[in-house]
Structure 1
Amino acid sequence: MKIDVRDLSKKYKEVDALKNISFQLEEPKIYGLLGRNGAGKTTFMEILAGQILATKGQIYIDGEKPFDNQKINESICLVKEGNNFKKDLKVKNVLQIFQYFYPTWDEELAKELVEEYNLNPNARIKTLSKGMESALGITVGLASKAPITIFDEPYIGLDAAARKKFYEILLEEYEAEKRTIILSTHLIDEVSLLFEEVLIFQEGELVLKEEADFLRNNTYAVSGTTDEVEAFISDKDVIESKQLAGMMTAYVSGDKQDAVAHGLQVEGVPIQDLMIYLTERKGA
Structure 2
Amino acid sequence: MIEVRGVTIRYGRTVAVDDVDLTLPADTIYGLLGRNGSGKTSLLSALACYRKPTTGTVLVDGEEAFENPRIARRTSFIRDTLDVQDGYRVSAAFCLTESLRPGWDAEYAGKLADVLQLDTRKRISALSRGQRSVLGVILGLATRAPLTILDEPYLGMDAVARTLFYRELLADYLAHPRTIILSTHLIEEVAELFERIIIMDRGRILLHDETDALRGRGVTVTGPAERVTAFAHGHTVLGEQSLAGVRALTLDGPLDPDEIARGERDGLAFGPLGLQDLFVHLTSQPLEATR
Aligned to 1:89: 88
Change in Cα spacing, 1:281 to 1:121, as seen in structure 2 (3 Å) is: same
The yes-or-no answer on 1:226 pairing with 2:229 is yes
Distance (whole Å) between structure 2 residues aligned to residue 258 and residue 59 of structure 1: 46
CA deviations 1:162-208 (Å, max 9, x no partner) are: 11100111010011111111111111111101111000000100000
Name 2:238's counterpart in structure 1.
240
Residue aligned with 2:15, SS: strand
Q: Does 1:277 align with 2:257?
A: no
How many percent of aligned residue pairs carry the same amino acid? 36
Structure 1 residues 192 and 250, CA gap change in structure 2 (3 angstroms): closer
Unaligned runs of 5+ in 2: none
Q: How far is the alpha carbon of 1:13 from its aligned partner?
A: 1.1
Deviations 1:216-274 (A, max 9, x none): 1232234644343224x3xxxx36366989x7835213246354134154222221221
For residues 128 and 266 of structure 1, do their structure 2 counterparts lie closer, same or farther at Cα, with a shift above 3 Å needed?
same
Q: Does the CA-based 8 Å contact 2:33-2:198 persist in structure 1?
A: yes
Cα distance in 1 for partners of 2:90, 2:113 equals: 9
Where 1:230 maps in the other structure, the secondary structure is coil
Match for residue 261 of structure 1? 261
Letter in 2 for 1:275: F
Structure-1 residue corresponding to 2:135: 136
8 A Cα contact 1:229 1:250, kept in partner: no
The CA distance in 2 between the partners of 1:258 and 1:65, in whole Å, is 51
Distance 1:43 1:256, change over 3 A: farther
Counterpart in the other structure of 2:188: 189
The one-letter amino acid paired with 1:230 is H
User: In 2, distance between residues paired with 1:75 and 1:258?
Assistant: 51
Is 1:252 the counterpart of 2:252 in the alignment?
yes
* Partners of 2:88 and 2:123 within 8 A in 1: yes
Provide the C-alpha distance between the structure 1 equivalents of 2:202 and 2:213, rounded to a whole number of angstroms. Answer: 24
Displacement after TM superposition at 1:73 (Å): 0.6
Inter-partner Cα distance in structure 2 for 1:69 and 1:229: 53
Q: Which residue of 1 aligns with 2:18?
A: 19
Residue 74 of structure 1: aligned partner: 73
Q: Which moved more, 1:64-73 or 1:222-231?
A: 222-231
CA distance 1:248–1:269, change in 2 (3 Å): closer
The CA deviation string for residues 97-145 of structure 1, in whole angstroms up to 9 with x for no partner, is 1111111111110111122223222322111111111111011000000
Query: In the alignment, residue 276 of structure 1 is paired with which amino acid?
Result: V
1:71-98: CA deviations, max 9, x gaps?
A: 0011110111223322122211111111
Q: CA 1:259 to 1:79, structure 2 compared with 1: closer, same or farther past 3 Å?
A: farther
Q: Distance in 2 between matches of 1:154 and 1:255?
A: 37
1:210 maps to amino acid: D
Residue 228 of structure 1 aligns with an amino acid whose one-letter code is F
Offset of 1:214 from its aligned partner? 0.7
Unaligned residue ranges in structure 1 (runs of 5+): none
Q: Report the Cα distance in structure 1 between the residues aligned to 2:112 and 2:149, rounded to whole angstroms.
A: 18
Relative to structure 1, the CA distance from residue 71 to residue 153 in structure 2 (aligned partners, 3 Å threshold; closer, same or farther) is: same
Q: Aligned to 1:267, what secondary structure does the other structure show?
A: strand
Residues 117 and 249 of structure 1: CA distance in aligned 2, closer, same or farther (over 3 Å): closer
| SS of alignment partner, residue 38 of structure 2 | coil
Q: Is the 8 A contact 1:49 1:76 kept in 2?
A: yes
**1:16-57 alpha-carbon deviations (Å, 9 max, x no partner):** 100001010013111100010000000011111011111111
- 190 and 242 in structure 1: CA distance in 2 versus 1, 3 angstrom threshold: closer
CA root-mean-square deviation: 2.1
Distance 2:202 2:258 in 1: 34
Return 247-256 or 33-42, whichever deviates more. 247-256
